[in-house]
Structure 1
Amino acid sequence: MLVKNARLRKQEGFWQIHIQNGMFQQIAPTVVCEDTDVLDVDGKLVLPPFVEPHIHLDCVYTAGEPRWNQSGTLFEGIALWEERKQQLTKEDVKSRAWKAIRTQITHGVQFIRSHVDVTDPSLTAMRAMLEVKEEVANLVDLQLVAFPQDGILSFPNGLSLLEEAVKMGADCVGGIPHYEFTRDYGVESLKKVFEIAQKYDKMIDVHCDEIDDGQSRFLEVLAAEAYRLGMGARTTASHAVAMHSYNNAYAHKLFRLLRLSKINIVSCPTENTHLQGRFDTFPKRRGITRVKDLMNNGVNVCIAQDSIMDPWYPIGTGNPMREIEMCIHMCHLMGYEEMLQSLDLVTENGAKALNLADRYGVEEGKPANFIVVDADNAYELIRDMAPVLYSVRQGKMLMKRPHAEPELFL
């Protein structure tokens, strides 16, 4: 395949991209080749695929089952999921996950990390998602997190279920220390996470401090242990919304530890704006972690959808551009250069968190995975929330969308 007249982010002019055997062979202003499979993108922006670093594919499309979350709280969402979880079958989980993945593909996503609830004695969702992972391998990279929704030490046999899910084939070990019964349980649960990850050579992705409690400080425990063991690059803290409520003196002390540890942070802007601050009157906290401060302090941050129509978040489309739009508004990232940099939050930064850097990016010698958006530059893409026109996977067309220009009758 020869991709003609492409614009590349942070590069001037037009570029030609030659793909051979599913790899980027040559990227240059002028390319001479005899390839008859030509895609002329007419000056549109070519990007590496979007990365979805945090979603719950076992829960998608269950909003309203068995009833709607009326309070909008995280805790009611967990209670509702506990009821819905009793009805899970392998077919149920797989059909909903497949529906979400198809939708994500239309939005240019090719790399996904999904948390899967393993506080279920039968591990139904994990068994289903391991099959889905194999089935979608030619379409997307799917990483699975063994996620103990109801706790590791606070749920009967939680620790053994977590380890069993990892042995079955989960890519990451998860945790939820702020939801354990006590702080001591929370700290001990994180130690167990690291023990299992080291034992089976797995990555770590912990739901960490997803609560409006300024005294919930498990992030420092996670980062300190990652630093001690040299596992920071393979460790992710998801949500970290309590940081929204930390006093500045403590937060800036924490930034140093996070930077030294090389830990990754995932923020979920739409979900946590919806869930957090539910117990406040006014002023009402919105709960997104300190994305801008983290970026300015050299911490790898990415953003994620988290949910698509489940007990925690009743809407959602799987489009990473919605997360950028929410993030740049809520986190004061609307300086011109900040807006351009925000694209990193759904591309390169997410790839780094998923440990994909050696095979991610529009670069010669890497797999030919890329998207073409209906915009000439990053600013236009963000301003217009421009759609993805083409998604190419290892040099083969995965999705294409015709130009949809409105017809005006004036």
Structure 2
Amino acid sequence: MSPLLLRGARLPDGDVRDLLLDPDSGLVARVAPPGVLPSGPDELDLTGHLLLPAPAEPHAHLDKALTWDLAQALPAGAPAGALPGDLSSAVTAWRAYAARVTEEDVFQRAGRAVDELRANGVTAVRTHVDLLTDNGSYRAGDPLRGLRALLRLRRQLRGRVRLQIAVLHIDAPDELLHQALDLGADLLGDCPHLSADPAASVERTLRIAAEHQVGVDLHADETLDPGAQDLRLLARAVRERGFVSGVTASHCVSLGAVEPEEAARTAKEVAAAGIGVVALPLTNLYLQGRDRPSSTPRGLTAVRALLDAGVTVAAGGDNIRDPFNPVGRADPLETASLLVTAGHLTPGEALHAVTAGARAVLGLPEAGPYEGAVADLLAVRAQTVSEVLGASCPERLVFAGGRLVSRTSVVRELY
């Protein structure tokens, strides 16, 4: 393919520049003042657009996506939806629906969800996938059907969206975890706080992941209980083991429920262990705190303490209209906006969490409108970062590896 020349784009620092993208290398080849770079056969005029690093989605559940209305329609007497809206109710509702899930069902819904993510600017996704049970048993049916669907989708998306798959389990048999990783899953996940023995669960997950030389991404401390210890257990285990394949802790809600001094101490342990943390404001604000109708706490990790300690912090959208959250636009800019509102980050910090921070957690090289960076870019019709996060700004162009992969145009008529 020919190089692609972007004309008149406004960069995050306010400068207006032309950029030359090289689709062969997938990198930004040149950045120059307007008019310096010679014209070529392929050009786009980005006047009026802010050009940003493309977001990454560090925590999705594509196997569950778009099932809220389907779960609500279960036969009379079956658990439906996620009422009263807490985590345990959501788990019950999903398990009731999951018994009906087929490989093709997951493949089709996950594909539609990725299309939404891609149109909003996402060029890389890490999705968790359940090992599906039948009446609570991992040994009945095909518990790997969700994984098989996402492996198919990963092959289909090559060159447009990079898809990482983390196997999510709760006390599943070792042989099933080995089988899932042998099939091609990229990471091993776990929910230690839902296990009978969280410390043993963390140790087992790290051991099996190390045997397969894959990374780990745990659902950690998804509770407002200040006594939850998943994150500290993980940090200590990683430091003792010297685990090198990459470790992520997602949710970490309880860290936001402890005193500042304790949050700071834990954050330092997490930084020392090299663990990345993914904040998930949309789903956690929906699920957490329902048992406290007065002065309801924010269901959000201690993002400021983590940043101050030097932890790599990312932010994700988590669930997209499923029993764990009936809303969600598959839009990282919505996630970043919530980090400003509920997490009290600056717009720049919040944008970093869904772009550079998210890519760092995924182990991907830097992307952005800079020479030598990966040419994964998002052009939004806006002038400033605060406008991007505050106004929704649906008009977007998305570039992956130097190629245009999505364009959304809007016609607005006011009378």
- TM-score normalised to the size of structure 2? 0.90
1:105-137: CA deviation from partner (whole Å, max 9, x where unpaired): 110111100000014442110111111111111
* Deviation of 1:232 (Å): 6.8
- Of the three residues 402, 407, 410, the one matched with 2:413 is 407
In the alignment, what sits opposite 2:67? 62
Q: Does the CA-based 8 Å contact 1:208-1:237 persist in structure 2?
A: yes
Letter aligned with residue 86 of structure 1: A
In the alignment, what sits opposite 1:354? 362
Structure 2 distance, partners of 1:232, 1:47, is 31
In the alignment, what sits opposite 2:256? 244
In the alignment, what sits opposite 1:265? 277
- Of the three residues 364, 372, 397, the one matched with 1:365 is 372
Q: Does the CA-based 8 Å contact 2:264-2:306 persist in structure 1?
A: no
Letter aligned with residue 152 of structure 2: E
In the alignment, what sits opposite 1:296? 308
In the alignment, what sits opposite 1:106? 119
* Deviation of 1:388 (Å): 4.5
- TM-score normalised to the size of structure 1? 0.91
- Of the three residues 8, 13, 22, the one matched with 2:11 is 8
Q: Which of 345-354 and 298-307 deviates more?
A: 298-307
Structure 2 distance, partners of 1:7, 1:29, is 11
- Of the three residues 291, 300, 323, the one matched with 1:279 is 291
Structure 2 distance, partners of 1:317, 1:402, is 17
Q: Does the CA-based 8 Å contact 2:226-2:258 persist in structure 1?
A: yes
* Deviation of 1:403 (Å): 4.6
Whether 1:166 aligns to 2:171 is no
In the alignment, what sits opposite 2:128? 115
* Deviation of 1:257 (Å): 0.6
SS at structure 2 position matched to 1:109: coil
- Of the three residues 198, 203, 211, the one matched with 1:186 is 198
Structure 1 distance, partners of 2:51, 2:260, is 39
In the alignment, what sits opposite 2:31? 27
Q: Unaligned stretches of 5+ in structure 1? A: none
Q: Which of 276-285 and 71-80 deviates more?
A: 276-285
Matches for 1:40-79 after TM superposition, within 5 Å: 40-64=45-69, 65=71, 66=74, 67-79=80-92
Of all paired residues, the percent bearing the same amino acid is: 29
Q: Does the CA-based 8 Å contact 1:14-1:43 persist in structure 2?
A: no
Q: Does the CA-based 8 Å contact 1:223-1:232 persist in structure 2?
A: no
Whether 1:81 aligns to 2:94 is yes
Letter aligned with residue 65 of structure 2: V
SS at structure 1 position matched to 2:297: coil
SS at structure 1 position matched to 2:211: helix
In the alignment, what sits opposite 2:77? none
Structure 1 distance, partners of 2:299, 2:375, is 37
Q: Does the CA-based 8 Å contact 2:50-2:379 persist in structure 1?
A: yes
Matches for 1:312-391 after TM superposition, within 5 Å: 312-333=324-345, 338-357=346-365, 360-391=367-398
Q: Does the CA-based 8 Å contact 1:372-1:391 persist in structure 2?
A: yes
Question: How many residues were matched structurally?
Answer: 393
Tell me: CA distance 1:317–1:325, structure 2 relative to 1, closer, same or farther (3 Å).
same
Structure 2 distance, partners of 1:191, 1:310, is 31
Structure 2 distance, partners of 1:329, 1:365, is 34
Whether 1:140 aligns to 2:161 is yes
Structure 1 distance, partners of 2:68, 2:394, is 26
Structure 2 distance, partners of 1:329, 1:367, is 30
* Deviation of 1:103 (Å): 0.8
Tell me: CA distance 1:268–1:227, structure 2 relative to 1, closer, same or farther (3 Å).
same
Structure 2 distance, partners of 1:261, 1:76, is 33
SS at structure 1 position matched to 2:158: coil
| RMSD, aligned CA | 1.7
Q: Unaligned stretches of 5+ in structure 2? A: 75-79
* Deviation of 1:86 (Å): 1.1
- Of the three residues 309, 312, 321, the one matched with 1:309 is 321
Letter aligned with residue 381 of structure 1: V
* Deviation of 1:49 (Å): 1.0
Q: Does the CA-based 8 Å contact 2:395-2:409 persist in structure 1?
A: no
Q: Does the CA-based 8 Å contact 2:7-2:17 persist in structure 1?
A: yes
1:52-108: CA deviation from partner (whole Å, max 9, x where unpaired): 100100001111413222200100111111111111111100000011011111101
Structure 1 distance, partners of 2:177, 2:390, is 42
* Deviation of 1:402 (Å): 2.2
Q: Does the CA-based 8 Å contact 2:394-2:409 persist in structure 1?
A: no
SS at structure 2 position matched to 1:379: helix
In the alignment, what sits opposite 1:18? 20
Structure 2 distance, partners of 1:362, 1:323, is 22
